[in-house]
């Protein structure tokens, strides 16, 4: 085991930091502070184009697909660093959709979709959950029926985050209702502005926007099917493992704890300096230690990817650990700030512009999102330790 | 950067697992703790010597095989899984300390026989309550042929089995600032009193009382650098964290095996979601501990002071091991609670290694210091 970045990786980190120093402008930060109401144009969209110009959306892809041919550790360093700066970097389109297209897609899939993803021009929302099949993903009912050389799609998706700023859907559909539920699922790429699609916003407690998306006789070319028909379950679970790895990066947690440490050294409105309290110090020390551990878990998952395997039990472990840690960080912040911690997001009097008030509301999301922690505990027990299935 | 075991590490781990499976069954662990029984694991010791475990981390100049601290961590993981007797590990600790602190002649004098399996040892380099505290508790004075040392060190492991015991002392010389020296003691020398401090797990730490014990010049290490001393003490602690994380893994495996074969209400208890989620939480805590421990050993081996890294390792490993063993008792029910079954052997090691050299409370203090909260 080697815990030290090699000279090339250190150099890369410097390059990423230099990019962020140059391009994370006050205007971008201001737009991001307006919650996650991302638009298709604006500061964030311009920032994305700059990332695309660098070729960083495809940084770990083979050069034949328009990538830079760097490794998963390079990608992990970039994503962590972006999170630490609080700006969106490569999203699920890059970290989980594209690798699945690369692994399982047809030659036409690869030629058609990978280059625009690498340029940052194609952004996918991932359409998995449905109102009647949330965590029980395989019960999805959105149907696709082949009509000549087109798929005709009917149904709806919920928790369809980012649909308002995407160009496409990575859509999971039922293509065969006559086989066991895991075996009749396919994945189809659907342009988001295809006739018959409508998007309804759902605002979350954290201020985060997600969506419900409806598909009414939506027609796409037959060649938009990814890989083989009815084999989609494999692609989805692979993409989900990658998604968990990418989403559970500890970059934002490092930043949150560093912010919290700084805050705890300053007097509150009542004049009390939180770190003067031994109990507070102990709690901060434990959070600091846990962020170090979460960082190691992220590097372990990236190392496995570098070895050519998609980590599964490892990212389930990481996802549970980081999501529960995020919650604990927010709880500790609100406890040590007392009433100051209630001051609302973006109000002048709020410590750190209310970022911990917001984090507290944001934290539950990743405990149930990207696979509930309960299901991931099943994954650890059953896939990691071969404990018997209880019929899920 | 690659947090995956190398092929060499996997081979070493497999060889060590075989060795311990053959030569360190739980029957041996039990036998060694029987009151009045033999305390020294002769056959295991010979097997470890043949496998060059005592040579592993030391230089070829003293007959060692020039391995790294990371290699030693692989051994500690397997030792922890198998509950390897402490005299083996304490002897390695003596070697690590001498390697870091002593000059060429003393290195050769201690390490050459140690590498050949001919010398058993132990160390008392830091407070048993806090490995970060390396202030000496013994007092020494210069005499013509060496020094005389007095005082008491507590909770010294295997003081009854060791040929050599490395301790530190404050040397007071009139008109000069006090200095820290290290002494290679013969625990059976005149003036040394060893009093066993018996614990419920039969492991025998000792209070070692020194009453003007004469130590010859060639057994004195002059001018011990406190930073180096602290790094050695933290290295020992970090290796113990590897032991703890691996012990916890072994307990999870036993627990999974039990719960998948034991049926209640007509089905394996391991098929209940509550049981699986307990196992998942044991797994998460253990993986956190494993990564933190290996990271601490890695950075100490590359010369970092290692206080923060070791603190993270102790916080995670001490809590994980204890929690895993207690949850394992819960999942085993009465079947794992009676002394006829082995689970309690790991529970006791978790308890011991969790606190020796400082548990989570001490470790949190090291972090507070390292990140500037105090």
- Hey, which residues does A131 pair with through a beta bridge? none
pLDDT of residue B21: 98
B298 near A CB under 8 A: yes
pLDDT of residue B58: 97
Residue A183, pLDDT above cutoff 80: yes
Nearest CB among B2, B259, B283 relative to A303 is that of: B2
Contact predicate A68/A55, CB 8 Å: yes
Interchain CB distance below 8 Å, A2 and B268 = no
Residues 63 to 92 of B: which have CB under 8 A from any A CB? Answer: 70
What gap in Å lies between CA B101 and CA B125, rounded to an integer? Answer: 11
What gap in Å lies between CA B317 and CA B294, rounded to an integer? Answer: 11
Please report, to the nearest 10 degrees, the dihedral formed by the alpha carbons of residues B73, B79, B85, B86 taken in order: 20
For residue B355, give Cα distances in angstroms to B96, B239, B243, B311, B352: 21, 14, 13, 13, 6
Q: Output the CA angle A252-A256-A261, nearest 5 degrees.
A: 150
Confidence of residue B173 (pLDDT cuts 50, 70, 90): confident
Contact predicate B279/B255, CB 8 Å: yes
Which one from A38, A169, A212, A243 is the annotated catalytic residue? A243
Indicate the pTM of the whole model: 0.93
Residue A141, pLDDT above cutoff 60: yes
Question: Among the listed ranges A52-61, A286-295, B116-125, which one has the minimum average pLDDT value?
Answer: A52-61
The residue of chain B nearest to residue A296, with distances taken between CA atoms, is: B291
Contact predicate B292/B313, CB 8 Å: yes
What gap in Å lies between CA A330 and CA A337, rounded to an integer? Answer: 11
What counts of helices (H) and strands (E) characterise chain B? 12, 10
For residue A360, give Cα distances in angstroms to A75, A121, A244, A324, A327: 28, 33, 20, 11, 7
pLDDT of residue A38: 60
B284/B35: higher pLDDT: B284
Residue A135, pLDDT above cutoff 80: no
For residue A20, give Cα distances in angstroms to A17, A82, A246, A350, B350: 5, 8, 19, 26, 45
Question: Stretch A44-68: mean pLDDT, rounded?
Answer: 87
What gap in Å lies between CA B73 and CA B77, rounded to an integer? Answer: 6
pLDDT of residue B34: 87
Beta strands at B121-124 and A150-158: parallel, antiparallel or unpaired: unpaired
Question: Stretch A82-102: mean pLDDT, rounded?
Answer: 89
What gap in Å lies between CA B134 and CA B307, rounded to an integer? Answer: 13
pLDDT of residue A36: 55
pLDDT of residue A268: 93
Contact predicate A234/A119, CB 8 Å: no
The residue of chain B nearest to residue A284, with distances taken between CA atoms, is: B368
Interchain CB distance below 8 Å, A2 and B295 = no
- Hey, which residues does B121 pair with through a beta bridge? B164
pLDDT of residue B298: 98
B143: enclosing H helix or E strand:
strand B138-143
Contact predicate B181/B222, CB 8 Å: yes
**Contact residues, chain A, for B374 at CB < 8 Å:** 281
Question: Among the listed ranges A15-24, A45-54, B327-336, which one has the minimum average pLDDT value?
Answer: A45-54
Q: What percent of chain A has pLDDT over 70?
A: 97
Instruction: Read off the tokens for A12.
Output: 């890369």
pLDDT of residue B201: 83
Confidence of residue A37 (pLDDT cuts 50, 70, 90): low
At residue B163, the 3 state secondary structure works out as coil
Question: Stretch B129-149: mean pLDDT, rounded?
Answer: 95
Interchain CB distance below 8 Å, A282 and B368 = yes
pLDDT of residue A187: 96
**Contact residues, chain B, for A314 at CB < 8 Å:** 287
Q: Which of A139, A177, A178, A183 is nearest to A158 (CA)?
A: A139
> What's the residue count for chain A?
392
What gap in Å lies between CA A309 and CA A306, rounded to an integer? Answer: 7
Contact predicate A377/B249, CB 8 Å: no
Residue B301, pLDDT above cutoff 70: yes
The residue of chain A nearest to residue B71, with distances taken between CA atoms, is: A1
pLDDT of residue A79: 93
Query: What one-character-per-residue DSSP string does B263-292 give?
Result: EETTEEGGGSHHHHHHHHHHHHHHHHHHHH
DSSP B219: G
Mean pLDDT of chain B: 96
Question: Stretch A210-222: mean pLDDT, rounded?
Answer: 96
- List all residues 6 or more positions away from A388 whose beta carbon is below 8 Å from its beta carbon: A382, B260, B268, B270, B271
B43: enclosing H helix or E strand:
helix B42-50
Mean pLDDT of chain A: 91
Confidence of residue A369 (pLDDT cuts 50, 70, 90): confident
Question: Which residue, among A381, A383, A392, would best test binding to B if mutated, counting the most B CBs under 10 Å from its CB?
Answer: A381
Question: Stretch B305-312: mean pLDDT, rounded?
Answer: 96
pLDDT of residue A391: 67
Contact predicate A159/A213, CB 8 Å: no
pLDDT of residue B370: 92
Q: What is the pLDDT of residues B342-365, one digit of tens each?
A: 999 999 999 999 999 999 999 999
For chains A and B, what is the number of CB pairs under 8 angstroms?
Answer: 148
B323: enclosing H helix or E strand:
helix B307-332
Question: Stretch A300-329: mean pLDDT, rounded?
Answer: 93
pLDDT of residue B274: 95
Residue A39, pLDDT above cutoff 70: no
Assess whether A169 carries a catalytic annotation: no
ipTM: 0.92
3-state secondary structure string, chain A?
A: CECCCCHHHHHHHHHHHHHHHHHCCHHHHHHHHCCCCCCCCCHHHHHHHHHHHHCHHHCCCCHHHCCCCCCHHHHHHHHHHHHHHCCCCCCHHHHHHHHHHHHHCCHHHHHHHHHHHHCCCCCEEEECCECCECCCHHHCCCEEEEECCEEEEEEEEECCCCHHHCCEEEEEEECCCCCCHHHCEEEEEEECCCCCEEEEEEECCCCCEEEEEEEEEEEEEHHHECCCCCEHHHHHHHHHHHHHHHHCCCHHHHHHHHHHHHHHCCCCCCCCCHHHCHHHHHHHHHHHHHHHHHHHHHHHHHHHHHCCCCCCHHHHHHHHHHHHHHHHHHHHHHHHHHHHHHCCCCCCCCHHHHHHHHHHHHHHHHHHCCCCHHHHHHHHHHHHHCCCCCCC
Q: What is the pLDDT of residues B26-41, one digit of tens each?
A: 999 999 988 888 999 9
Residue A288, pLDDT above cutoff 60: yes
pLDDT of residue B346: 97
Please, what is the end-to-end C-alpha distance for chain A in angstroms? 36
Question: Among the listed ranges B11-25, B85-99, B193-207, which one has the minimum average pLDDT value?
Answer: B193-207
Contact predicate B246/B78, CB 8 Å: yes
pLDDT of residue B135: 96
Residue B178, pLDDT above cutoff 90: no
For residue A278, give Cα distances in angstroms to A9, A326, B354, B359: 38, 22, 22, 17
At residue B58, the 3 state secondary structure works out as coil
Q: Output the CA angle B92-B98-B103, nearest 5 degrees.
A: 155
At residue B141, the 3 state secondary structure works out as strand
Residue A44, pLDDT above cutoff 90: no
Interchain CB distance below 8 Å, B1 and A386 = no
pLDDT of residue A299: 95
Question: Stretch B46-73: mean pLDDT, rounded?
Answer: 97
Q: Which of B128, B119, B67 is nearest to B95 (CA)?
A: B119
**Contact residues, chain A, for B283 at CB < 8 Å:** 317, 380-381, 384-385
The overall longest dimension of chain B from CA atoms, in Å, is 80
Question: Stretch B111-127: mean pLDDT, rounded?
Answer: 98
Residue A274, pLDDT above cutoff 60: yes
């Amino acid at each position: 085991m080697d815990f030290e970045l090699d000279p090339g990786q250190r150099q890369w980190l410097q390059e990423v930091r230099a990019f962020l120093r140059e391009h994370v402008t006050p205007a971008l930060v201001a737009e991001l502070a307006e919650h996650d109401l991302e638009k298709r144009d604006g500061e964030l969209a311009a920032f994305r184009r700059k990332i695309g110009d660098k070729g960083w959306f495809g940084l770990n892809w083979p050069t034949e697909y328009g990538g830079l041919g760097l490794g998963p550790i390079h990608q992990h360093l970039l994503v962590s660093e972006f999170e630490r700066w609080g700006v969106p970097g490569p999203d699920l389109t890059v970290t989980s959709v594209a690798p699945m297209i690369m692994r399982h897609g047809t030659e036409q899939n690869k030629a058609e979709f990978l280059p625009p993803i690498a340029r940052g021009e194609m952004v996918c929302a991932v359409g998995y959950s449905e109102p009647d099949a949330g965590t029980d993903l395989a019960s999805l009912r959105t149907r696709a029926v082949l009509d000549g050389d087109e798929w005709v799609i009917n149904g709806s998706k919920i928790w369809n985050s980012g649909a308002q700023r995407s160009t496409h859907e990575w859509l999971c559909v039922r293509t065969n209702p006559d086989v066991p539920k895991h075996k009749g699922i396919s994945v189809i790429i659907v342009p988001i502005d295809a006739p018959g699609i409508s998007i309804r916003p759902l605002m979350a407690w954290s201020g985060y926007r997600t969506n419900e998306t409806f598909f009414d006789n939506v027609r796409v070319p037959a060649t938009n099917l990814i890989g083989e028909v009815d084999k989609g379950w494999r692609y989805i679970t692979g993409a989900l493992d990658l998604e968990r790895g990418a989403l559970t990066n500890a970059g934002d947690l490092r930043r949150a704890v560093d912010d919290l440490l700084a805050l705890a050294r300053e007097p509150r409105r009542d004049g009390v300096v939180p770190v003067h309290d031994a109990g507070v110090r102990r709690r901060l020390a434990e959070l600091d230690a846990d962020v170090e551990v979460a960082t190691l878990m992220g590097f372990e998952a990236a190392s496995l990817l570098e070895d050519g395997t998609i980590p599964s039990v490892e990212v389930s472990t990481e996802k549970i650990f980081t999501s529960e840690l995020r919650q604990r960080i927010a709880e500790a912040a609100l406890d040590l700030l007392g009433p100051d911690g209630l001051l609302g997001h973006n109000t002048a009097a709020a410590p750190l512009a209310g970022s911990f008030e917001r984090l507290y509301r944001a934290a539950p999301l990743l405990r149930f999102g990207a696979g509930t922690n309960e299901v991931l505990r099943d994954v650890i027990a059953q896939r990691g330790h071969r404990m018997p299935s209880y019929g899920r | 950067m690659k947090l995956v075991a190398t092929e060499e590490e996997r081979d070493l781990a497999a060889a060590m697992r075989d060795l311990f499976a053959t030569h360190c069954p739980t029957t041996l662990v039990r036998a060694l703790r029987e009151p009045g029984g033999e305390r020294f694991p002769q056959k295991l010791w010979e097997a470890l010597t043949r496998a060059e475990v005592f040579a592993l981390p030391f230089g070829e100049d003293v007959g060692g095989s020039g391995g790294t601290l990371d290699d030693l961590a692989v051994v500690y993981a397997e030792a922890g899984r198998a509950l390897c007797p402490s005299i083996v590990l304490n002897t390695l600790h003596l070697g690590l300390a001498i390697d870091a602190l002593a000059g060429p002649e003393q290195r050769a004098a201690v390490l050459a026989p140690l590498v050949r399996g001919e010398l058993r040892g132990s160390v008392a380099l830091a407070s048993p309550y806090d490995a970060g505290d390396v202030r000496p508790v013994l007092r020494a004075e210069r005499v013509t042929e060496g020094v005389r040392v007095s005082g008491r060190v507590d909770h010294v492991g295997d003081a009854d089995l060791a040929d050599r015991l490395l301790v530190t002392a404050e040397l007071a010389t009139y008109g000069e600032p006090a200095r820290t020296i290290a002494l290679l003691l013969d625990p059976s020398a005149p003036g040394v009193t060893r009093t066993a401090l018996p614990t419920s797990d039969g492991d025998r730490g000792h209070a070692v009382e020194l009453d003007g014990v004469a130590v010859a010049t060639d057994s004195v290490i002059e001018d011990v650098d406190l930073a180096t001393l602290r790094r050695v003490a933290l290295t020992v602690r970090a290796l113990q964290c590897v032991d703890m994380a691996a012990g916890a893994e072994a307990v999870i495996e036993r627990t999974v095996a039990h719960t998948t074969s034991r049926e209640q209400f007509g089905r394996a208890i391991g098929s209940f979601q509550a049981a699986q989620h307990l196992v998942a939480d044991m797994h998460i805590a253990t993986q956190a501990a494993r990564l933190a421990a290996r990271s601490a050993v890695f950075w100490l081996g590359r010369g970092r002071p290692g206080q923060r890294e070791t603190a993270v390792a102790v916080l995670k490993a001490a809590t994980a091991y204890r929690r895993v063993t207690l949850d394992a008792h819960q999942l085993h029910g009465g079947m794992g609670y009676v002394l006829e079954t082995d689970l309690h052997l790991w529970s006791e090691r978790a308890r011991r290694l969790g606190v020796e050299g400082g548990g989570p409370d001490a470790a949190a203090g090291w972090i507070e210091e390292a990140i500037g909260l105090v």
